[in-house]
A = this chain, B = another copy of it.
Amino acid sequence: MKAIVHVGLKPGVLDPQGKAVADTLGRMGYDEVHSARIGKVIELDLEGVAKDKADARVKEMCEKLLANTVIESYRYELVD
């Protein structure tokens, strides 16, 4: 089973990495780029765990390690 975890900055939180990407693209001539925001996708390979238990465990992993819940939000899906 796989867990696909999407982690991104909460709205309103400054994204310096995104700003750097947008500014660089602007300098490269891509004026249509108004802004950019960068997020993470974490793909976990899970073995030997039932789906319902995996759901609770992945949530814990997000809360404890994968996302900084002060400035980031996360969502995840379990894929067989």
Contact = CB atoms under 8 A, between A and B. Distances in A.
B21 A65 contact: yes
A32 B6 contact: no
Given A40-B40, A41-B39, A47 B28 contact: no
Query: In the complex this chain forms, how many copies of it are found?
Result: 2
A38 to B, nearest CB: 6
Contacts of A28: 61, 64-65
Contacts of A22: 44
Contacts of A41: 6, 8, 38-41
A17 to B, nearest CB: 9
Contact of A39 (B40, B45, B65, B66): B40
B30 A47 contact: no
